[in-house]
Amino acid sequence: MTIFHFSPAVAEAMHAGRPVVALESTIITHGMPWPQNLDIARQVEGVVRDGGAEPATIAVIDGRLCVGLEDTQLETLAQARGVAKLSRADLAVCMAEGRTGATTVAATMIAARLAGIGVFATGGIGGVHRGAETSFDVSADLPELAVTPVTVVAAGAKAILDLPKTLEVLETLGVPVIAYGQDMLPAFWSRSAGLRAPLRMDDAASIARAHLMRGTLGLPGGQLVANPIPEAAEIPRDDLAPVIARASRDAADHGIAGKALTPYLLQRIFELTEGRSLDANVALVLNNARLGAEIACELNTLRA
């Protein structure tokens, strides 16, 4: 049984020892509306290529774990309805049943590690939801960062989450949270969460060295690089606070929970900001793809 399927472009890059950056697919199927999602997915891949690395968008298609998607596959996935959102818990079941699903941060990390890819760029990771003290809703992305050795570049955790609790859990799990080029933790649509990040690094080469150092020390798990959204694209925290509060209330009123919560909140915030949240989302994802490519190139140089 073939478990993996490498796209020709990714296979060639890996064979030639060129840097590769993993990309997730849940952001395409559940994080952004059609048809912008397809355009953005293509742009992200383009930015990785411009940065000197090969993009490997990861998804499960008809039971096969695809590392790198052909453009037609990307297009099909972007407009598909009812695609499964796969995390650590459901990845194997989806594959065993020969079905199709999009990979979250956790599942993409698992696939990247198996494929030998050290760097993964995305928008935001999942975290501890507001009200987790009663709902217990903590994303599987957090424990994944503790066990799977992949460096994940994100724009911090989404402001829809409880950021102080998310930081606490990451600390408990021993996950390095590294703000890139600033002291404060970025909060996805805004450059600062109003909280200091535990760690700060200012260049891709140091991040790549820290990635390798964890391996040398025999530490499992990855690193979270929190890359602030470009200033021109940021939505100030005060503008977003009432929108997030409203979206969270709507979710509670409609009984939205579990896997459906993150996609619901993102969609609701998109509606409430009349698309402004998506523009910011695009800018930060592209920015993360750029940094991801840079780190992957440095990692490649260090390993050579």
Query: Catalytic annotation on 271?
Result: no
Q: How far is the CB of 75 from ligand PSU (least distance, A)?
A: 18
Q: Which is nearer to ligand PSU, 57 or 139 (CB)?
A: 139
Catalytic option among 24, 45, 54, 144: 24
Three-state DSSP string of 48-107: HHHCCCEEEEEEEECCEEEECCCHHHHHHHHHCCCCEEECCCCHHHHHHCCCCEEECHHH
Token pair listed for 267 = 């969609």
Query: Catalytic annotation on 158?
Result: yes
Q: Using CB under 6 A, which of the segments 25-33, 69-77, 194-202, 225-233 binds ligand PSU?
A: 25-33
**Does residue 91 bind ligand PSU (CB under 6 A)?**
no
Longest CA–CA separation in the chain, Å: 55
What residue type is 107 in one-letter code? A
Choose among 185, 199, 117: nearest CA to 154: 185
CA 238 – CA 230 distance, rounded (Å): 17
The residue within the footprint of ligand PSU, chosen from 45, 54, 90, 141 (CB under 6 A), is: 141
Choose among 152, 147, 154: nearest CA to 118: 152
Instruction: Say which DSSP state 221 is in.
Output: S
User: With CB cut-offs between 5 and 8 Å by kind, which of Mn ion, ligand PSU, none does residue 151 bind?
Assistant: none
User: With CB cut-offs between 5 and 8 Å by kind, which of Mn ion, ligand PSU, none does residue 55 bind?
Assistant: none
Q: Using CB under 6 A, which of the segments 10-18, 24-32, 46-54, 295-303 binds ligand PSU?
A: 24-32
Which residues bind to ligand PSU, rule: CB under 6 A?
24, 26-27, 30-31, 104-105, 123-126, 139-141, 158, 259, 262, 266, 281
Catalytic residues: 24, 158
